[in-house]
Chain A
Amino acid sequence: MILPDKIIEDINNYKKSLNEYLEKDMDFARFKGIRVPWGFYSHRGKKVYMARIRIPGGVVEPIQLKTIADASLKYGNGTCHITTRQDIQIHGVKIEDTGRLMDDLKGVSLSPRGGGGNTVRNITACPLSGICKDEVINVNAQAETLTEYLLQQDDSYNLPRKFKIAFSGCSKDCSGCLINDVGFLASELNGEYGFRVFAGGGMGAKSAIGRLLENFIPAEDIGYCVSAVKNIYYENGDRKNRHHNRLKFLIQDIGFEKFRELYDKEIKKLKDSEYISLRKKPAIQREENNGEITMVDDGQYKEFLKYNVQPQKQDGYSIIELRMPRGDISAENLLKISGLENVFPGIEFRTSVSQNLYVAWVKNQDVYNLYTKIKEILTDFLYPGTLLDTIVCKGALTCNLGICNSPGLSVAIETMLKKEFIGKSVFNRLNVHINGCPNSCGQAPIGQIGFYGLTRRVLNRPLPFYKILLGGRKSAEFTEFGDEIEIIPAKNVPGFLQKFLSIIENEIKGIEDIDQYLKTRGKEITKNIIGGFSYVPPYSENRDFYVDWGKTEEFSLEGVGQGECGAGVLDIIESDIVSSKTLLTQAKKETYPAEKIKKSIFFSARALLIVKSKEPMAEQEAIEYFYEIFIKTGIASEKYSNIKEVFSGISESLPEEKRKEKFIYATGFLEHIKDLYKSMDSSFNFPKGTSRTEQKLPDKERLLDLKGTPCPINYVKAKLFLENIAVGEIVNILLDEGEPIDNVPKSLTSDGHKILNIEKKDGFYRVSVQKEGGYK
């Protein structure tokens, strides 16, 4: 990639802001708004940061890989992580080093720009494009030059929410065109090569599959197509409601037909007014090779050849895929891997959306030697693309939104699989995707077997749980999300999976459509065996269930929230809201039992407390907190300022009529909480109760104190103030004696305003001015 000048220039602006932040001239929240679009997220605890470096199409040169590894050792904690968008992350970076880190990366045309926030995220492409036997078109050049084009534009960093683009070179659809905001799927039409375009896909708490936007466009039109979608999204996307602002929601709201109409208009406008042409990337010529792969009688090497090696499109060359467990690799090892180029000149590296690292352009005769070198560096790299190759996000240890520690679960699953499933049918035919929360960084919805983390309260104690999903897949037009089946405690997931796999191992031999099988028969099996895995023993009996995988301390939600990327606590909020609603529905059916009404009020009151870092277990406590945090501060309506009294007044001894009144109160209260939740902004802040503040400041009492303000600034301020009120409104302006009182009223009169009254006070004047039709 050629790093656009704009990014290089913008680095200095970033550094300026960083300095201001370090010198305490800028606060945390404001600086967050700057650093996140630069790809710097805070780790849980907010002491260190993660840098997400974009790797367009996953193509990463040896020198770039080396620079990333060096930077991780120099500024980070020595770990690197390959993401499901082909980025490489460096973890544990100190904020003061972020500027220098960017300088180092800049030297090899890398940048974390757009790694996070409401930006055009890393553009993904098939990791093997250009060398894959199946591809229709080589697509990584498109990912790269489109990145260059989009990174130059200011609006690429200021979209309603993140914007994801993917390219797939054939219908195998490595990149998942239909789970991106815009997906380009290579295709052929009447002998011409181009793309089918899909729009509006995306995973998250509410996943959606993209729909066909263009049946065929030539490659030259990619820039127009993306710009048109982006412009429509920029103009029309929901910027306020954080759980409703991806492109998929815009399309949902206006309908796909209306969206297409806007798109057609925008394309026409762009073609009339702009000339969008992506850089042409020259193709690299390679020497021909006709070597053969050496055969050696070594069991592990044979497995390596079977699972890790595949022939390249170009004769005589092989591609080697290295499984990176959980996408993680130490910087030290990454450095050594990048150094392989010295021994095997000409090799290339690619990151994949399945969090692995490919070595490409390996001469066949070098495969064995390369294998022995890799073995000296890595220990766990066999079996990519199998059940063992779990796709998993970073989870609750580092991520602000993580609920469960998904990498910990992944380790437990891998240990179980290695013991008894290597080489089995399920091993070769299935995959597992794990998310630590209902967001989809681990892409659980498209996993054949998917798990996402959530929490459930058991006896008032929060516990890590996972939802089981079955039958997801990413396969161009046949992309489907898995069905959500059941919820089980985190600690039972490996046991459940072990039993589930053992059963289906015997059944899937003759089955072709395994995804359909999973959705029907798989679901049935799950339902049959789930009973044995859903029980949670009381704390006194088995503490283990209360401790998440890979952790020693008990599970808690501490630190969850204030998410920097998307959401997560939202699900916790929603679960309380649902509980509250369910109780009210029941109460209505059962002649308004006091207990249910009280519980409903408790859940309503507690729902939003989590964003204020409060997690009360007791009812009384929740009501107290709510009163302190939401009522006293004016966030919630004054109508509920009596909540403490009402709550304690509800009892079974009240006559039914009275209990019904309380029920109506509880229903109104829940509605109010839902409204507050809707009004919550992306930083989990609430607008202050508008109705109340406005009543306190009626229009008639507008006051502008200009005592001590000299001429003509006093007049300027009065003029500015009057600009922002409605015609006919009145403001009382306080002015000093002398020049101010002599001049300002005169000037305001000549602007067309009406001086209603001038009143002399002690050393100053109070002038009532009525806004009249504005100045000319």
Chain B
Amino acid sequence: MSLRNDQIERYSRQIILNDIGGKGQERLLSAKVLIVGAGGLGSPSALYLAAAGIGTIGIVDSDNVELNNLQRQILHSTGSVGKPKAESAKETINKLNPDVNVVPHKLRLTSENILNIVRDYDIVIDGSDNFPTRYLVNDACVISKKPLSHGGIFRYDGQAMTIIPGESACYRCLFPEPPPPGLVPSCQEAGILGAVAGIIGIIQANEVLKYILKNGELLKSKLLIFNALESRFRLVRVPKNDNCAVCGKNPTVTKLIDYQEFCSLKKIDCSIK
């Protein structure tokens, strides 16, 4: 692959950087990133990844844009209310950088379809807003050995961690089981400061760029926690859990389960030992 003149100009400020250069840029241009959720986290990460010249960005989202999304989901604008988010995202991204091949996946991830979708990508960003999807994405990535950038936000707090299956702790090592349904409100029910989503989403984008460029140090087995009110970041070590149900020594989760059902069961029934 050789860079076109307009590409050299567009990406010049990062090609200049040590350790990126033309080779790094080519790596970015041929990378394929899947973003789960074109929401508060997915929006900023998608924009920065697109700007950096990621070749293919897959966007999974089955929802339509609502007015209340616009406070933080900066991929969408007033004119796109009512449109499918995946399409609105594609339009915005291609306006920013027409080089990017945006693949909209207008669907809800399920145990049936997720592996087929994930297999076409190099790395996955989880920007989902609910626990069933988050566990599904984690397990699917671990099972199919796809790197995953986890991000989560709640009110004024956010967190991020990068999961390299087989190497670092996964989301289940941190939180072995989903909380019972109804105990934790989803973002749809809870408040969130838009800028917090922006900060965490961009951290996820940054992790993905480093992974593709094979540069720097990833948030492997390390949870980065951010509090907006104190403007403070904390790094917490997350050891890989040998008893983890999906990435431990004797995994009990070897096939994907549809977590929607699983989570709506009573706690006692859904223990997966």
Contact = CB atoms under 8 A, between A and B. Distances in A.
A154 interface: yes
A74 interface: no
Interface in A255-275: 273-275
A712 B143 contact: no
A715 B16 CA distance: 8
Interface stretch (B17-25, B195-203, B263-271): B17-25
Contacts of A717: 8
B115 A274 contact: yes
Contact of A154 (B8, B120, B143): B120
B105 A775 contact: no
B116 interface: yes
Contacts of B103: 6, 9
Contact of B120 (A153, A275, A719): A153
B224 interface: no
B21 A723 contact: yes
Interface string B103-116: 11111000010011
A563 B19 CA distance: 45
Contact of B143 (A275, A713, A715): A275
Contacts of B8: 713, 716-717, 720
Given A153-B120, A274-B144, A723-B21, A716 B15 contact: yes
Interface string B249-260: 000000110000
Nearest to A154: B120
A640 interface: no
A275 B3 CA distance: 37
A712 B16 contact: yes
Given A9-B104, A719-B16, A275 B115 contact: yes
Contacts of A297: none
Given A5-B105, A149-B116, A153-B120, A273 B16 contact: no
Contacts of A639: none
B9 interface: yes
B15 A275 contact: no
Given A5-B105, A720-B3, A273 B145 contact: yes
A228 to B, nearest CB: 14
A534 B119 CA distance: 58
B12 interface: yes
Contacts of B16: 712, 715-716, 719
A277 interface: yes
Given A713-B9, A713-B12, A720 B21 contact: yes
A471 B144 CA distance: 49
A9 B115 CA distance: 19
A149 B113 CA distance: 10
Interface in A1-52: 5-6, 9
Interface string A282-302: 000000000000000000000
Interface string B140-178: 000111000000000000000000000000000000000
B115 A723 contact: no
For this complex, into which size category does the number of interface residues on chain A fall? 20 to 34
Instruction: Point out which of B22, B104, B144 has the most chain A C-beta atoms below 10 A from its C-beta.
Output: B22
A723 B120 contact: no
Contacts of A154: 120
A277 B114 CA distance: 11
A149 B112 CA distance: 12
Consensus secondary structure, chain A interface:
helix
A708 to B, nearest CB: 13
Interface in B105-143: 105-107, 112, 115-116, 119-120, 143
B23 A723 contact: yes
A152 interface: yes
Interface string B1-16: 0010000110011011
Contact of A719 (B22, B105, B106, B143): B22
A149 B22 CA distance: 36
A277 B115 CA distance: 10
A712 B119 CA distance: 39
Nearest to B9: A713
A152 B118 CA distance: 12
B30 to A, nearest CB: 13
Interface string B80-110: 0000000000000000000000011111000
A724 B144 CA distance: 35
Q: Which of A275, A717, A723 has the most CB of B within 10 A?
A: A275
A70 B264 CA distance: 49
Nearest to B105: A5
Contacts of B9: 713
A775 B119 contact: no
A723 B20 CA distance: 11
Contacts of A152: 116
B22 A275 contact: no
A457 interface: no
A230 to B, nearest CB: 13
B175 to A, nearest CB: 23
Interface string A376-415: 0000000000000000000000000000000000000000
Given A154-B120, A274-B115, A275-B255, A723 B12 contact: no
A589 interface: no
Contact of A775 (B21, B112, B143, B255): B21
Nearest to A775: B18
Contacts of A715: 16
A12 to B, nearest CB: 10
A720 B112 contact: no
B130 to A, nearest CB: 22
Contacts of B21: 719-720, 723, 775
B15 A719 contact: yes
A5 B112 contact: no
A426 B19 CA distance: 75
A776 interface: yes
Interface in A737-776: 751, 775-776
Contacts of A751: 18
A6 B143 CA distance: 23
Contacts of A149: 116
Contact of A5 (B3, B23, B107): B107
Nearest to A155: B120
Contacts of A724: 22
B57 to A, nearest CB: 13
A153 B104 CA distance: 14
Contacts of B23: 723
Contacts of B19: 776
A712 B12 contact: yes
A769 to B, nearest CB: 15
A576 to B, nearest CB: 37
A724 B3 CA distance: 12
Contacts of B105: 5
Given A275-B256, A713-B9, A717-B8, A776 B18 contact: yes
Nearest to A13: B101
B129 to A, nearest CB: 22
A153 B143 CA distance: 19
Interface in A491-523: none
B264 to A, nearest CB: 23
29 contacts: A6-B103, A9-B103, A9-B104, A149-B116, A152-B116, A153-B116, A273-B143, A273-B144, A274-B115, A274-B119, A274-B144, A275-B115, A275-B143, A276-B115, A712-B12, A712-B13, A712-B16, A713-B9, A715-B16, A716-B8, A716-B15, A716-B16, A719-B15, A720-B3, A723-B22, A723-B23, A724-B22, A751-B18, A775-B18
Interface of A: 5-6, 9, 149, 152-154, 273-277, 712-713, 715-717, 719-720, 723-724, 751, 775-776
Pick the 8 closest A-B CB pairs, nearest first. Answer: A720-B22, A716-B12, A723-B22, A275-B115, A716-B15, A273-B144, A273-B145, A723-B21
Given A5-B106, A715-B16, A776-B19, 7 more contacts: A9-B104, A274-B119, A275-B255, A712-B12, A713-B12, A719-B21, A775-B18
